[in-house]
Structure 1
Amino acid sequence: MRRSNLIAAALAAVLLLAGCGGGSGGGTARPAGDPRPGGTLVMQLPAEITDGLNPLEGSDPTVMGIISGTVYSKLVEFESGPDAEGLKIVPDLAESWEISPDGLTYTFRLRDDVRWQNIPPVNGRPFTSDDVVATFQALKQATQVHQWMIAPVTDISAPDAHTVVFTLDQPYAPLLEYLAYHFNMILPREGLDGRFDLATQAIGTGPFILDSHTPDVEWVLRRNPDYYIPGRPYLDEIRRPILTDTAAVTAALRSGRLDIGTTSDVNVADELRARDFVITEQAGAPISFYLNPTVEPFDDIRVRQAVVTAIDWDGMGESIRGHYNLTSLLRPDTSSGALTPDEVRKLRPFDPERARRLLAEAGLPNGFDTTLMVQRVDDEDVREAQWMQADLDDVGIRAEIQIVDPGTGIERRRSHDFAMTKALRGVHLPDQVWRDFAPDSIENYALVADPALDELVAHTRTELDPAKRDDLYRQLQERMETQIVQALYPIQKFDYAIRNPRVQDLWPSPIYQGKRLADVWLSE
């Protein structure tokens, strides 16, 4: 299909979404009345877990989707609900907290009405500050997966059974956000002491109990009758069948075997909207793009600048995704420090003539041959790579596409075995983005090593004024776009959550937020 036709089709899809309330709803669902208890919710799980359930040792998003906020609770949580915007932090196990004026002491007052799930060896005992201390002490000793999130915390103490104090060696602006993030679940002392295997069993304080697992088929959760919020959860059971194929998800939704599924394909969303399903459109993961500066000719910044200038990122977003955000590094749905689309276009214009001039200046007037590794999760990933390949070819950069599975893609990125590569990068928080480019980060795929960048990042972490911190974030993005040009998240895709109209009060969240499932109920 010609590019002009692709864009026209994509614009038509976006206009259709706008006619249906901006894509945030759909179907003809009628008022359902008051919440009622009972029933089983069947909700797609997009992949099987491969590395166990222990949140101290892994970062598998599938694990987080099953146990974070559902089985395990956290000290604090990101707000969800009909009026939630951005990343407002609200209480969970901590009912209140205080931060000292110098930013070096955080005091959390814990709820006194929380019990662990009634499963041996924890047996429904009361939750106390000792569990919190034990969790974060264990995180300090754990692998490098995410212990850096609390690196400035030098001491965690419990003055009494319902108070926890974090002492820091420097102000650390992201701390509350990281405590609300899905990795940082509070675990029972018994699991941390080895009295049960955290990799195979989860015993938490959350609204649901992990009930059973059939490998490669399904995970099942059941209602926790001792959850600390009276009357919650409404559901008796949540079943998570493992469905990775869009066609299988669509068929299961049509037949009624599945209540909730997700897709990034606007055509699938539109078809099911017409069948009376409720569609919620939500900003998803950014597309990531990395250039390896140790592979010639990408050691020359002029070549890297030529690559990113040669690609029509707006056109790619419009034609492949249908709905997208043009971005730099930070996500506009989770950070007020994200650059606007116009600011991105100014820093990274689509300008093939400039790309050709840069290549000539770098001694490559006839271009060069290279490779583009693409990690395939869905068909859109490959089509984006083909779009990039065509744009690069127009300026003389002849890129052979190498399609790999997610596991291979992660391994090759971490070992820097690529010239150019694109994938998805599931980062949410502003500071989390910059952690990727730290010298000791295994996710520093593009080998970014820039002292000025590191100095700016360090400043953002000690700057407690949000407006000043956002200004630093903008400076960081500008430097990455103009002075480094080794990594960018050029567009952010949108996903579509598709649900049967009987599913009520399932509010969207940009973060894996399982606690919101406690509010879900099923109408007649």
Structure 2
Amino acid sequence: MAVGCGDDDDDDDEPVATAAPTEAPTEAPTEAPTEAPVAGPVDGSFFSQYTGISGTTLDLHRELYRGIAYTAGNAYNNLLKFTDMDNFVISGEIARGLPEQPDEVTYNFTIRDDVNYHNKPPANGRALTMDDIRWNIERQRTSTRADGTEDTTFFRHPLIYKNIENVDYVDGTNFTVSMNSPQVTWLGDMTDEFNGMLYPDIGEKLEDDNEFGVFSADNVLGTGPFIFDEFELQERAHGVRNDDYFLRKDGTIPGMVDELFFVNLGGDINPQRLAFEQKQIDELASRDRAVMDEIASSNPDVEAFRVGDPNNNLEFAYNYTTNRALSDERIRTAMFLATDRALVAEQHFQGLGRPNPAVNWPFSAWALSQEELSQAPGYRQPKDQDLADARALWEQANAEGHEDVDFRVTTVDFPQYVPLLEWFPAMLNTNLGTEKWNAQAIPVTSLLEYNNSGQASVGYLGGWDQWNSPDPRTRFAQVYSAHPEDGGRGTINFWKYTTPTMEGYINDMFAEFDNEKAQEIIKEAQRFALSDAGSGHLQMVGGLTSWVKWPYLNRAGPFFITYGTTISQELWIDQNDPTFQGKQRPA
């Protein structure tokens, strides 16, 4: 079994390999070939994958659900993209290479002149122009709709565009971005999957409140490698190869599949397993350890991996500021101490999980070590001292005097989250000697509005993703920096947590260009979060994701962070591989 990246300081059955150090290339003696060369990337066949296709809108600039960027993102391009996520290599996509930087605050971009929008209405294959670049940048830079209305749902604004002082659109192929101060993470942040170049007419159409949540292939139109003719929320999506794609025409991508299928098979692993074994889907990722092990043992031809994935986690983001109970330091600290992270790993990840600090553990150079965590209050095993301290704080705060609604945890109606409704409040009730904790589930499509509007007065329990770069600083700030309304970077800091200490750490880490020094700053910020009941986030466990795929599928990765477009543009089907026999179109 091949294994993915991460560190290896855990007790899991399967090790997780770390990247080997890079060595200088050496010249080997030339040998006569002994067998025919392996076929390279070729056109043909189709790629099919199970995914949930859950989200709020097809306006990527105002969406947070990664599943939408992962699927619809295959229709789009960015100015810049990661070409090697593990080694932080960035290159141009719509831009012709990286921008020139005459100084620390100036970026001179040149865009390609061979980029066209998809040949479907209303673009009908027209060329991308500097006016399109301007529209995509300025709507996010100003957080403003076409009618002049300011909109706080432009989630990339505080992360990418807030610190732009000026943009000079010089001519049809060149523009210059001037920052108000050096921005160490900016080029990496620009590759964010949600930062694609949209078609202006479609983007403005989706600014209408009646159109915002309409999911249709008509609303997916970009310059990218696939043209969608079907896109149904929580059902399926289908795209066909764009033969006019500029990176295909110039030979950058020598082989591509004819079609992409994304199908939602529901949360039950058994239909997913059946579809994979019948080759209706080409790969499968799951945290169901037992079933994935069975698939690998029952199908000796498949390739199996386990990868530390920072977006596979369980956290409770809670209302630190206005919740009547959790705004009390003693009650939130009691909750933090009473959380049994070993139990969480077993219940939610079938033992394939590790405790997470505020930077998820796969970021091995940036996260606190497992050894340090094991000695921290809330993470210690056995939990006797933590539970004694938690119960004492609970009693001192007279937590029993609060209403049950003050302890009502919200999750979503994903099948894999339904068990949380029972075991998570039961864990806290048992460990705190109470019956106060309870839980509810809401439709996943309403979660973003539910959190944004403040209806989730206690907090949200579930997976917290948006880890989109191998440098975790931007994502860390999304949660722990002040809310954008208060001048910060905290786009998913829904309950407006802020402290001067944490804000100071965040300012310092973004001012530091030396990675090793930045890593020490972010570790100090994580230690502060441990002393502050998680600083509005009850960090629990990050899981290992189990993957299986058929050998005929040639694709990049799996990586510890996966971009859908990275896969689709470097994916091809070897139709001569013996395992290709029996491959089926998804039902």
TM-score range for the pair, normalised by the shorter chain length: 0.7 to 0.9
Q: 1:239 aligns with which of 261, 285, 304?
A: 261
Shift of 1:459: 2.9
Find out whether 1:168 has 2:148 as its counterpart.
no
Which amino acid is the alignment partner of residue 264 of structure 1? R
Aligned to 2:332: 304
Aligned to 1:422: 461
Which amino acid is the alignment partner of residue 270 of structure 2? A
1-structure distance, mates of 2:174, 2:196: 17
Q: 1:353 aligns with which of 372, 379, 385?
A: 385
Find out whether 1:67 has 2:90 as its counterpart.
no
1-structure distance, mates of 2:384, 2:445: 34
Structure 1 length as normaliser, TM-score?
A: 0.83
Change (3 A) 1:388 1:313: farther
Shift of 1:373: 1.9
Give RMSD over aligned pairs. Answer: 3.4
1-structure distance, mates of 2:188, 2:130: 20
Q: 1:265 aligns with which of 277, 283, 288?
A: 288
- Identify which range, 361-370 or 164-173, moves more after superposition: 361-370
Q: 1:477 aligns with which of 519, 523, 526?
A: 526
2-structure distance, mates of 1:176, 1:496: 31
Find out whether 1:394 has 2:417 as its counterpart.
no
Find out whether 1:436 has 2:479 as its counterpart.
yes
Q: 1:41 aligns with which of 47, 50, 57?
A: 47
Deviation string 1:349-377 (CA, Å, 9 cap, x unpaired) is 33432442354356449974853525253
Q: Within 5 Å, give how 1:453-464 maps onto structure 2.
A: 453-464=502-513
Q: State whether residues 333 and 390 of structure 2, in contact with CA within 8 Å, keep that contact through their aligned partners in structure 1.
A: yes
Shift of 1:190: 5.2
Find out whether 1:292 has 2:345 as its counterpart.
no
Change (3 A) 1:233 1:124: farther
Q: State whether residues 235 and 520 of structure 1, in contact with CA within 8 Å, keep that contact through their aligned partners in structure 2.
A: yes
Shift of 1:38: 0.6
Deviation string 1:29-69 (CA, Å, 9 cap, x unpaired) is xx9643221111122231355x442223322323212222x
Q: State whether residues 116 and 128 of structure 2, in contact with CA within 8 Å, keep that contact through their aligned partners in structure 1.
A: yes
Find out whether 1:255 has 2:261 as its counterpart.
no
- Identify which range, 119-128 or 419-428, moves more after superposition: 119-128
2-structure distance, mates of 1:394, 1:253: 41
Find out whether 1:333 has 2:372 as its counterpart.
no
Aligned to 1:186: 197
Aligned to 1:219: 237
- Identify which range, 174-183 or 456-465, moves more after superposition: 456-465
Q: Within 5 Å, give how 1:434-513 maps onto structure 2.
A: 434-437=477-480, 438-439=482-483, 440=485, 441=490, 443-483=492-532, 485=534, 486-509=536-559, 510-513=561-564
Structure 2 segments unaligned to the other structure (5+ residues): 1-9, 20-36, 146-150, 576-587
Q: Within 5 Å, give how 1:3-42 maps onto structure 2.
A: 14-15=12-13, 17-18=14-15, 33-42=39-48
Q: Give the SS at the match of 1:279.
A: strand
- Identify which range, 333-342 or 144-153, moves more after superposition: 333-342
2-structure distance, mates of 1:195, 1:53: 8
Q: 1:522 aligns with which of 570, 573, 576?
A: 573
2-structure distance, mates of 1:45, 1:409: 18
Shift of 1:444: 2.5
Q: Give the SS at the match of 1:346.
A: coil
- Identify which range, 218-227 or 494-503, moves more after superposition: 494-503
Deviation string 1:300-323 (CA, Å, 9 cap, x unpaired) is 323322322233313432564122
Aligned to 2:31: none
Q: Give the SS at the match of 1:95.
A: coil
Change (3 A) 1:159 1:184: same
Change (3 A) 1:129 1:280: farther
Q: Give the SS at the match of 2:492.
A: coil
2-structure distance, mates of 1:128, 1:412: 38
Structure 1 segments unaligned to the other structure (5+ residues): 1-10, 25-30
Shift of 1:152: 0.6
Shift of 1:380: 6.3
Deviation string 1:325-349 (CA, Å, 9 cap, x unpaired) is 3221113435732221222233333
Aligned to 1:28: none
Q: Structure 1 vs Structure 2: percent identity of aligned residues?
A: 17
Find out whether 1:281 has 2:309 as its counterpart.
no
Q: State whether residues 119 and 125 of structure 2, in contact with CA within 8 Å, keep that contact through their aligned partners in structure 1.
A: yes
Change (3 A) 1:413 1:139: closer
Count of residue correspondences: 499
Change (3 A) 1:358 1:87: same
Q: State whether residues 134 and 189 of structure 1, in contact with CA within 8 Å, keep that contact through their aligned partners in structure 2.
A: yes
Q: Give the SS at the match of 1:211.
A: strand
Q: State whether residues 232 and 518 of structure 1, in contact with CA within 8 Å, keep that contact through their aligned partners in structure 2.
A: no
2-structure distance, mates of 1:212, 1:242: 13
Q: State whether residues 65 and 514 of structure 1, in contact with CA within 8 Å, keep that contact through their aligned partners in structure 2.
A: yes
Q: State whether residues 40 and 235 of structure 1, in contact with CA within 8 Å, keep that contact through their aligned partners in structure 2.
A: yes
1-structure distance, mates of 2:278, 2:326: 51
1-structure distance, mates of 2:199, 2:323: 47
Which amino acid is the alignment partner of residue 375 of structure 1? T
Shift of 1:112: 3.6
Deviation string 1:266-286 (CA, Å, 9 cap, x unpaired) is 112112112233333221332
Q: State whether residues 307 and 355 of structure 1, in contact with CA within 8 Å, keep that contact through their aligned partners in structure 2.
A: no
Which amino acid is the alignment partner of residue 249 of structure 1? Q
Aligned to 2:441: 404
Change (3 A) 1:201 1:320: closer
Structure 2 length as normaliser, TM-score?
A: 0.75
2-structure distance, mates of 1:136, 1:34: 38
- Identify which range, 187-196 or 398-407, moves more after superposition: 187-196
Q: State whether residues 355 and 361 of structure 2, in contact with CA within 8 Å, keep that contact through their aligned partners in structure 1.
A: no
Q: Within 5 Å, give how 1:41-120 maps onto structure 2.
A: 41-48=47-54, 51-68=56-73, 70-80=74-84, 85=86, 87-98=88-99, 100=101, 103-120=104-121
Deviation string 1:466-518 (CA, Å, 9 cap, x unpaired) is 23322221122112110354313221122233323321124224143314312
Ranges of 4+ aligned residues in structure 1 off by more than 6 Å: 21-24, 193-199
